[in-house]
Amino acid sequence: MDIYLVQPSSICFSETLRIWYQAIISSIYHKSKDEIELELAQVRKAQEHPHDFAPIYNKYYDEIFVYISRRVENLDVVAELTSKTFTSCLSNLPKFKYMGVPFSAWLYKIAINEVRQFFRTRKNHPRTVCLSDKDFLAITQETVEASKYDLAHELVPKLLSTLSEKDLECIEMRFFEKKSFKEIGFALGLTEVNAKVRTYRILKKLKKIAPKIAL
């Protein structure tokens, strides 16, 4: 897998869009108990009356667009995959059951599947990994020896390129998107414990191969 490493600001075409992007990023993964209950109430309304899906679409469109744009650089493709995500969400909404994670986690799971399907059919399309300087530092500290930090901007993309799509998603959700292991497990079809175990196994693997790549 070819990894194209970018910072959030490089995806945006204007200062206004950059500010919008950062605002959405800061709010995506933090929901209070009251927020979760409110969104569940809206979901139940939409399950009974599909026309009540509009508030869900309006609330989450920007979040899903940003989520996909962190993985696919082409904004036309991002818009198409976002549309497919909501189409699939609406058609499968009657099947939704609360599983202890926010409804938005279910929506992200659909988005992940759309992104996976895109890369299955476009194997030569570069996979974007979007991370801030803070995110980059976090993954560097977890995978690269301190003596090699000066090579991190070359090493980290190579390390991430060795991962399968599922393993890359696991690292992204944990380190770049600050998801809990419960949310990661839900999105990837794992138990919370297995999500935690997989994450640490991936890190152990990356630490092991880092010295060889650095040669």
What are the tens digits of pLDDT across the range 176-198?
888 889 889 988 889 999 999 99
Sign of CA dihedral 29, 43, 52, 82: positive
Number of H helices, E strands in the chain: 11, 2
User: In this structure, what DSSP letter does residue 105 have?
Assistant: H
Closest listed residue to residue 80, CA positions, set 72, 92, 70: 72
Structural tokens at position 169 = 């998603």
Q: Is the pLDDT of residue 7 over 80?
A: no
Comparing 198 with 102, the larger pLDDT belongs to 198
Q: Which helix (H) or strand (E) holds 127?
A: strand 127-130
- Of 96, 114, 130, the last residue of a domain is 130
CB 135 within 8 A of CB 5: no
Same domain, residue pair 16 and 45: yes
The 10s digit of each residue's pLDDT in 159-177 is 888 998 889 999 988 888 8
The answer to whether residue 118 is domain-embedded is: yes
State the pTM of this model: 0.76
User: Domain range holding 177?
Assistant: 131-215
Domain edge (last residue) among 77, 103, 130: 130
Question: Per-residue pLDDT tens for 109-141?
Answer: 999 999 999 988 988 888 888 777 888 888 888
